[in-house]
Amino acid sequence: MVHQALLPFNRQFHSKFTRNDKLKKMKNILKIQASTILFFSQ
């Protein structure tokens, strides 16, 4: 019963965590793209 009560909370936490992870990956990709553009434009 306790496990079932925690399920929605865990799901919410997990989705928030994965969203942050995706944002970090996106930022890293953008940084890499920006640095490669700068590198090739020199």
pLDDT tens profile 10-33: 777 777 877 888 889 999 999 999
Q: How far apart are CA 11 and CA 3, in angstroms?
A: 12
CA 18 to CA 12: how far, in whole Å?
10
Higher local confidence (pLDDT), 16 or 2? 16
Q: What's the pTM value of the predicted model, to 2 decimals?
A: 0.51
Which DSSP state fits 1? -
| Cα radius of gyration (the chain) | 18
Domain that holds residue 28: 1-42
Grade residue 3 by pLDDT with cuts at 50, 70 and 90: low
Alpha helices in the chain (DSSP H): 2-41
How many structural domains does the chain have?
1
